[in-house]
Amino acid sequence: MSVVNDIEVNADNKETFQVICRINNIGDLGKFTTISGFRLQGNSYQTLVQMQNVDNTLQHTYRKPVLGTSVSGWRAVGEYDTGNANARDSYVGVARQVSDMSCNDVVAYRCEVAYTTPSPNFDSHTGIIAKVLNVSGNVYLVIV
């Protein structure tokens, strides 16, 4: 998987556009609580997708990517990393066909991760990063 710098919006395009939230760059990660992807809607952020790592009684969301309520046109993607104790390589995101993109998709996208540090402190933290998808010319979407 690679970072997309620009894509051409073309009705015949069969490529997939993805917004992925990864947690592998958090140095003091003990355990993540939630990974979420958001999209700016008006003046607030709409939850596009989320994965939680807290309540295993909620089987539909526990360690699984789930679309936010009232989200349509997107597909939830992601994976819970079982390869190490703190699930460092887990990720969550959304995907859709490039041919389904429109100028309405030219907004800010944001990733958030809530996590705790390792013992003995178990301090709670939230990390946030946001990127704006812009239109350059008439046919290109560019992440800046």
The CATH code of the domain at 6-143 is 2.60.40.10
Check residue 66 and give its pLDDT.
Answer: 97
Given a cut of 50, the residues of the chain with pLDDT beneath it are 1-2, 4, 6-9, 135-144
Using an 8 Å Cβ cutoff, are 137 and 8 in contact? Answer: no
For 11, the 3-state DSSP assignment is: coil
Check residue 11 and give its pLDDT.
Answer: 52
Domain boundaries, the chain: 6-143
Stated pTM of the model: 0.78
* Nearest Cα residue to 43 out of 108, 105, 103, 93: 108
Bridge partner list, 76: 94
The span from the CA of 111 to the CA of 124, in Å, is 17
